[in-house]
A and B are shown apart, each in its own frame.
Chain A
């Protein structure tokens, strides 16, 4: 079962970290830019 746990862990941990990176990058850019009408 260790391979199964590894497969599940890699998938969801990588996706969670990537999602966090995207959200944080978006927040940093929003802070750096003045508010715009198109958001």
Chain B
């Protein structure tokens, strides 16, 4: 019996850590952090919005990396394709949350739910591209053709990440630039906001890791089901009707 790729105690710890740190982030964000002079209470959304946006990038980055490893003949393994699919799905959930929490933040601060600002448009495009990637994974084809096709699509879609990330630098946008810049000492947050942001990053990061591992396991099971499902269904039918296996498929 081979060992599972990630031991069960690791995923359990990740899950428990995700719940604990996320709860701490919520308490900190809602009750410990104070309002800011610029944005009032809305700056509390800093605890959720930047982390989900970052982990959407991480998810798509893992998909791209796994796709590259799949495309290189020397490193090609079915597992890389399954990891790419799992990570893309979790990334899409986080990217969707980025759009929704950003919109919720934008309404009171900018006065609009949505605007065709460069950052927002690039983020929406990223979401649409990876939704398309997930749809492509479901298009019927042989395993190899589908995996190769999806790997190429992921590498095209991921090109939007730098555009999205640097949109606030390259263009005049309504969306603010990064809140923290370690190279610019004047660009910083107060301690409470820093701690809240850190807790949000840890809690949602652990949740992201847990989800990718669980989704990867499901992806492996789905792949197995795709291969063995028909055999199992035939076996079940045989058992139901007590038909000898050599009679299945024979003309009546």
Q: Are B221 and A3 in contact (CB under 8 A)?
A: no
For chains A and B in complex, what number of residue pairs have CB atoms within 8 angstroms? 87
Interfacial chain B residues near A5, Cβ < 8 Å = 30
Q: Are A7 and B2 in contact (CB under 8 A)?
A: no
| Contacts A3-B107, A37-B1 given; does A10 touch B218 at CB 8 Å | no
Task: Report if B119 contacts A (CB, 8 A).
Answer: no
* Smallest Cβ-Cβ distance to B215: which chain A residue: A22
**Majority DSSP secondary structure for residues of B touching A:** helix
Q: How far is the CA of A25 from the CA of B221 in the complex (A)?
A: 10
Interface size for A (C-beta < 8 A) is 27
Q: Are A33 and B232 in contact (CB under 8 A)?
A: yes
Q: Mark B219-247, 1 if CB is under 8 A from A, else 0.
A: 01110110011001000000000000000
Interfacial chain A residues near B93, Cβ < 8 Å = 14-15, 18
Q: Are A14 and B97 in contact (CB under 8 A)?
A: yes
Q: How far is the CA of A7 from the CA of B108 in the complex (A)?
A: 12
Q: Are A15 and B207 in contact (CB under 8 A)?
A: yes
Closest CB in chain B relative to A39 CB, distance in Å: 6
| Contacts A11-B52, A15-B93, A33-B221 given; does A23 touch B105 at CB 8 Å | no
Partner of A36, one of B44, B48, B105, B224: B224
